[in-house]
Amino acid sequence: MKIALLQCPPPPADPERGLLQIADAAAYAAKDGATVLVTPEMAVTGYALGPDVVAALAEPADGAYYTAIADICRANKIAIAYGFPERGGDGAVYNSVQLVTADGTALTTYRKTHLYGDVDRMQFTAGATLSEVVSLGGLRIALAICYDIEFPELVRAYALAGADLVITPTANMVPYDSVCTRIVPARAEENGIAIAYANYIGEEGDFIYCGRSCIVDPGGRDLARALPRDPVLIMAELPDRRAHEGAHLADRRPDLYAALTMPQPARET
């Protein structure tokens, strides 16, 4: 499967501009034979906008953003994983990514579960469940968003569920470049799983985005990587099934570290 990643500036609270960036990238990616295009986090609207703006721009998972993306998918015969602010049926606003197939079907939607700092907590409600693992283009795919990938338990859970690829829209900023260069390859290698990590460039509010979008194979090696400041579309071929590199999954000892997932007990004062 050929995967394409869009590295671009965030649209300034302008969904029309955001959708145009995605449509242009989809057209180029499809011409080069890509099966799926991955955008950055909140690519339709921009990310660091403040709670009032995000709430005003939020749409349900089957709303106007989905309709526009589905049209782009059908027009270019390419699947798209795109980030957007989702208005849930409960009225809450979520930081979400939706994977839409080449025929315009919404395959799955995931809500960011690990909220990053005040910027996320002021704007969003945390998702309550991990991504389901879905099949597309010969691969089993799970979804994550930005800060999620920094938690080893999340990617390990996806690997144990049989995922071959974790698609990860992100809005990672300076000085956290090490996430792109160290953590993402480590998550891939320790789980024998590919990761597609699509980041922004440019500035938004107080943030300077660090780029370095990458497609990493199950051995933690770069298949494609963008430079820090360039708007670019990067692409790479992924194998049709997990390469099963390393022995980490087979050699793990869950009996020794089950406590890692238990709540910390309250300390006596």
Phi, psi values for residue 116, rounded to 5°: -95, 110
Sign of CA dihedral 107, 113, 118, 122: positive
- Between CA 56 and CA 121 the distance in angstroms is 17
Q: Which of 8, 73, 146, 180 is catalytic?
A: 146
| Whether residue 112 lies in the annotated active site | yes
Active site includes 180? Answer: no
Total residue count of the chain as it appears in this document:
269
Handedness of CA 37, 43, 10, 68 (dihedral sign): positive
User: Which entry of 41, 59, 86, 204 is annotated as an active-site residue?
Assistant: 41
Q: Which of 112, 180, 210, 214 is catalytic?
A: 112
Catalytic residue positions?
A: 41, 112, 146
